[in-house]
Chain A
Amino acid sequence: MQKHRIIVVGNGMVGHRYLEELVDKADLSQYEVIVFGAEPREAYDRVHLSSYFSHHTAAELSLVKPGFYEKHGIKLFLNEAVKRIDRAQQVIETNQGQTLPYDTLVLATGSYPWVPNIAGSAHHECFVYRTIEDLKAIREAAKQGKSGVVVGGGLLGLEAAGALKALGLETHVIEFAPVLMAEQLDRQGGEMLRRKIESLGVTVHTSKNTREIAHYQGKQGHHQLRFADDSVLDVDLVVFSTGIRPQDTLARYSDLPIAERGGVEVNDYCLTADEHIYAIGECAAWHGRFFGLVAPGYKMAQVAVDHLLGNDNAFTGADMSAKLKLLGVEVGSIGDAQGRTPESLSYVYQDDAAGIYKKIVVSSDGSKLLGAVLVGDTTDYGNLLQLKLNDMPLPAHPDTLILPAHAGVKPTLGVDALPDTAQICSCFDVTKGRIAQAVAAGCHTVAAIKAETKAGTGCGGCVPLISQVLNAELSRQGIEVKNHLCEHFAFSRQELFHLVKVGQLKTFEEVLSKHGHGYGCEVCKPTVGSILASCWGEYVLKAAHTPLQDTNDTFLGNMQKDGTYSVIPRMPGGEVTPEGLMEVAAVARDYQLYTKITGAQRIGLFGAHKDDLPTIWDRLIKAGFETGHAYAKSLRMVKTCVGSTWCRFGVQDSVGLGVELEHRYKGIRSPHKMKFGVSGCTRECAEAQGKDVGIIATDKGWNLYVCGNGGMKPRHADLLAADLDKETLIRYVDRFLMFYVRTADKLQRTASWLDNLEGGLDYLKSVIIDDKLGIGAELEQEMDAIRSQYHCEWQETLGDEQQKLRFRHFINSAQPDPLVQFVGERQQHRPAKPEERIPTYNISLEEPV
């Protein structure tokens, strides 16, 4: 059967979402999907474009999972625009001369920046702000100059101003209207925003009508903006951000009906006047109106796919509320922000000291919320938006909704009050009902809900709300969430940590008798053992602690499937001397150990008999090595690239820092193992962004990434802070690690810890960087205390004759374990499988003596 061919024109955010929806919902064996993108790269996150300057790369902005197109057999042509549609023949023609027939055509061509017709605005150093190519051009121009101006003080204009600021330019913003962000804010809100932005060093000029731009050659400030009031401004660089217009040229040429203010006209199913052509995103106009936000575009993508597949769904308009962070200032706008509804009433809260302005607009009878403005603090945004979207009744005193927490009267919007149809996640259009369904189906953590419904995986703004819905649903459905450690302790790991610390408890016996019952088990013993080690740093093999440890800790090596152990000495940052290497080789040869470079830039020796471990380690320690903690739930290693000492590209000494960090944090017991990485430049050869703590050198210092993971469920690390000096970097890492050690669940890696942390990355930043909880100094002291306890566990063990006896295989015989046997493989050996073993003279499992 001939496949149904879908051609998608445009590979922006909405075009890509269409493909994701299609892949998710359709049987792709029935469709042939071809995509054309005019830009040179795959779909990327335009909303966070300004982060391209603040330490992100084009690859990080990409929205496309590696291998997405190949995996689903989608053909993508980049740098190729569709220039003509023959609707009668159902054929398109591209600017590269391809002609292709289609069954369904999807227009997702987005918008273009509109530049007013001002004399001089066409100069090649007048830029717009829309694509990565635009940003690259701005960055190049910024290298030559000292100052820049953004014409346009709307949302995008302020984003662009943030970008100029990040490039180190003296930054100006010109706005025609008397207030900034006139679309979203009222006058007072705009004023507050202006004050905050100016305090950051951006000069704001409002009520300015730019009449002309004059250009001079070869001197600083060679562009002069001349305003209607005869004032002037000299700058080196001009960026226009004066609005967008739908990119509907292709549709115009194809005689598709176009709305009066631009945009291809579409119906509720995103279908144009031609039943074979859909239009979605900013190029589409619904009821004569186009939407310059990404959420409505995503909804259109979903509707268009559903309509194609015959599913019930419709586009019914969009809410234009928005919450964002501009130049570091939080701004939120909901519904009728200016109070234009006749007879509407307003409540205002203003705190000049903290730079906070909040306003709500309510109906004349005070029963319904119509709109809101939030500047400087958007914590109320989620609640207010739900009140507005779901038309919910307001409390008797609506002003309590925006009073600060210290006023003590804040009504919580019970999520119970939300209808099932309430949209919780606007990025992925996930309703409260859908989340409730997921909870009923067994998703009992925020991370599980994210995985099941995608809610909270877009901008992440709704995660606190998801967590509220989760808790409400769990208690409503009578599901008891037990994060109890096990049957012996009715506490979570975090609670136990606190009890141990506060109660100064030093042994498992004490912890059990005070806070638990019974004997203990393989879950609580190692967990408590790890907590005790994290708190007090005692030798893990003290007689009182030995029964708590997993075998890896008991014998200070990783047990392999045949009962032998691995031997992995520490090689900090991957460094090892030739002499050290020779001794490792000699040990491996003498004890017949299988030798392999591990995934962690060090050498692993495998197949060591338990009996041999003490003598093996004795030799390694004499050669200057120490334990590598490859067996422990603690820092494993710091992976480094060669860095600026040798590499032509390196900008900082990554090995030096890696070695220092590895020594600083080695041996500290944590809820799970931890891996670090340090890269000497943005090429990132140490793959630091896949590590629990990843550090990448910049021209100005170090960028600190946290909570990355490789393994079963890879997670890209998040940028915690940028351009840090070493002292600050280490302070943040100290705080981060102790905070994780204190609060994570048992065996929880940093990645899933962060995914489940209420408030997410922003909260983590506020704890680590802003010290919101006031525990920063305490965390650093705890880290210092625990670091001062460090001893090489192997050295300590070898110093104790009693300990060495424990390593004998038999308590009553000196012979080694006869079941440990090897067979040759690739010039080395591997454990014999049970059926390959040769019965030995003194062991017969069948016959007793």
Chain B
Amino acid sequence: MSWTDICAVNDIIPGTGVCALLGQRQVAVFRPYADEQLFALDNIDPFYQASVLSRGILADLQGELYITSPLKKQHFRLKDGVCLENADFSVAAYAVRVTNGRIELKEPV
């Protein structure tokens, strides 16, 4: 599967996320710092089936980064999508990279 160009890194305000359309999937892309470190998770909150995770607040808990759902505040680990409150409601993680200041995503195999 090939990489898909999404947007410029600087289109994301440091400390926030955006929602990207990747094929027919909705993917949340997060930029926790002002650098080029990025994470990508499925954007759909599995508790509500609503496409909102990119609009949550980024948090670190015990040294690991999470996104907090804006609906009911469950935490999803940025590196792998595991839900802290209930692992049965974990979300998929996507591969993400930066090429010449552009963000690229790849669908999971």
Q: Give chain A's interface residues, CB within 8 Å of chain B.
A: 487-488, 518-523, 525-526, 543, 546-551, 554-555, 559, 561-563, 805-806, 809-813, 815, 817, 819-820, 834, 842-845, 848-849
Q: Which of B1-44 touch A at CB < 8 Å?
A: 6-7, 11-16, 18-21, 23-26, 29, 32, 44
Smallest Cβ-Cβ distance to A508: which chain B residue? B15
Smallest Cβ-Cβ distance to B47: which chain A residue? A561
Bound-state CA distance A522–B65 (Å) is: 11
Could you write out 14 A-B pairs with CB less than 8 Å apart?
A521-B68, A522-B59, A523-B59, A543-B13, A549-B57, A561-B50, A562-B48, A812-B20, A817-B51, A819-B49, A844-B24, A848-B23, A848-B25, A849-B107
Known: A562-B50, A810-B20, A811-B6. A487 touches B62 (CB 8 A): yes
Q: Within 8 Å CB of A550, what residues of B? A: 57, 70
Smallest Cβ-Cβ distance to B68: which chain A residue? A522
Q: Is the pair A811, B60 in contact by a Cβ cutoff of 8 Å? A: no
Q: Within 8 Å CB of B16, what residues of A? A: 546-547, 554
Bound-state CA distance A523–B62 (Å) is: 14
Q: Within 8 Å CB of B59, what residues of A? A: 519-523, 525
- The main secondary structure of chain A at its interface with chain B is loop
Bound-state CA distance A805–B7 (Å) is: 13
Known: A811-B7, A819-B44. A551 touches B55 (CB 8 A): yes
Bound-state CA distance A548–B57 (Å) is: 7
Q: Within 8 Å CB of A522, what residues of B? A: 56-57, 59, 68, 73
Tell me the smallest distance from the CB of B15 to a CB of chain A, in Å.
3
Tell me the smallest distance from the CB of A841 to a CB of chain B, in Å.
9
Q: Is the pair A563, B56 in contact by a Cβ cutoff of 8 Å? A: no
Known: A551-B70, A561-B71. A525 touches B49 (CB 8 A): no
Smallest Cβ-Cβ distance to A834: which chain B residue? B49
Q: Is the pair B19, A810 in contact by a Cβ cutoff of 8 Å? A: yes
Any A CB within 8 A of the CB of B82: no
Interface size bracket, B side: 35 or more
Bound-state CA distance A749–B49 (Å) is: 31
Any A CB within 8 A of the CB of B83: no
Bound-state CA distance A810–B27 (Å) is: 9
Known: A559-B71, A811-B11, A812-B21. A547 touches B107 (CB 8 A): no
Tell me the smallest distance from the CB of B97 to a CB of chain A, in Å.
16
Bound-state CA distance A165–B32 (Å) is: 66
Bound-state CA distance A551–B52 (Å) is: 9
Smallest Cβ-Cβ distance to A526: which chain B residue? B57
Tell me the smallest distance from the CB of B18 to a CB of chain A, in Å.
4
Smallest Cβ-Cβ distance to A521: which chain B residue? B59
Known: A546-B13, A547-B14, A834-B49. A525 touches B62 (CB 8 A): no
Smallest Cβ-Cβ distance to B66: which chain A residue? A521
Q: Is the pair A812, B7 in contact by a Cβ cutoff of 8 Å? A: yes
A-contact 0/1 string along B60-104, CB 8 Å cutoff: 111101001011010000000000000000000000000000000
Tell me the smallest distance from the CB of A566 to a CB of chain B, in Å.
14
Bound-state CA distance A488–B56 (Å) is: 18
Tell me the smallest distance from the CB of B88 to a CB of chain A, in Å.
16
Q: Is the pair A551, B20 in contact by a Cβ cutoff of 8 Å? A: no
Bound-state CA distance A213–B55 (Å) is: 81
Q: Within 8 Å CB of A523, what residues of B? A: 59
Q: Is the pair B70, A559 in contact by a Cβ cutoff of 8 Å? A: yes
Q: Within 8 Å CB of B60, what residues of A? A: 488, 518-521
Bound-state CA distance A526–B62 (Å) is: 19
Tell me the smallest distance from the CB of A632 to a CB of chain B, in Å.
15
Q: Within 8 Å CB of B63, what residues of A? A: 518
Known: A519-B32, A842-B24, A848-B25. A819 touches B51 (CB 8 A): yes
Bound-state CA distance A241–B102 (Å) is: 88
Q: Within 8 Å CB of B107, what residues of A? A: 848-849
Contact of A519 among B7, B48, B65, B73 (CB under 8 A): B65
Bound-state CA distance A518–B60 (Å) is: 7
Q: Within 8 Å CB of A555, what residues of B? A: 55
Bound-state CA distance A487–B63 (Å) is: 10
Smallest Cβ-Cβ distance to A814: which chain B residue? B21
Smallest Cβ-Cβ distance to A547: which chain B residue? B15
Q: Within 8 Å CB of A551, what residues of B? A: 52, 55-56, 70
Q: Identify the interface centre among A487, A521, A845: most chain B CB within 10 Å of its CB.
A: A521
Q: Is the pair B21, A813 in contact by a Cβ cutoff of 8 Å? A: yes
Q: Within 8 Å CB of A806, what residues of B? A: 13
Q: Within 8 Å CB of A810, what residues of B? A: 19-21, 26
Bound-state CA distance A692–B73 (Å) is: 27
Smallest Cβ-Cβ distance to B49: which chain A residue? A834
Tell me the smallest distance from the CB of A633 to a CB of chain B, in Å.
14
Bound-state CA distance A810–B68 (Å) is: 19
Smallest Cβ-Cβ distance to A541: which chain B residue? B13
Bound-state CA distance A469–B26 (Å) is: 55
Query: Which 10 pairs between the two chains have the least Cβ-Cβ distance?
Result: A547-B15, A521-B59, A519-B60, A551-B70, A834-B49, A522-B68, A849-B23, A811-B18, A522-B57, A563-B50
Bound-state CA distance A549–B63 (Å) is: 21
Q: Within 8 Å CB of B25, what residues of A? A: 843, 845, 848
Smallest Cβ-Cβ distance to B32: which chain A residue? A519
Q: Is the pair A811, B20 in contact by a Cβ cutoff of 8 Å? A: yes
Q: Is the pair A559, B24 in contact by a Cβ cutoff of 8 Å? A: no
Q: Within 8 Å CB of B49, what residues of A? A: 819, 834
Tell me the smallest distance from the CB of B102 to a CB of chain A, in Å.
11
Known: A519-B65, A812-B6, A813-B21. A547 touches B58 (CB 8 A): yes
Q: Is the pair B29, A521 in contact by a Cβ cutoff of 8 Å? A: no
Q: Is the pair A525, B24 in contact by a Cβ cutoff of 8 Å? A: no
Tell me the smallest distance from the CB of A610 to a CB of chain B, in Å.
8
Tell me the smallest distance from the CB of A575 to a CB of chain B, in Å.
32
Bound-state CA distance A811–B20 (Å) is: 5
Bound-state CA distance A187–B103 (Å) is: 87
Tell me the smallest distance from the CB of B42 to a CB of chain A, in Å.
9
Q: Within 8 Å CB of B68, what residues of A? A: 521-522
Smallest Cβ-Cβ distance to B48: which chain A residue? A561
Bound-state CA distance A111–B39 (Å) is: 77
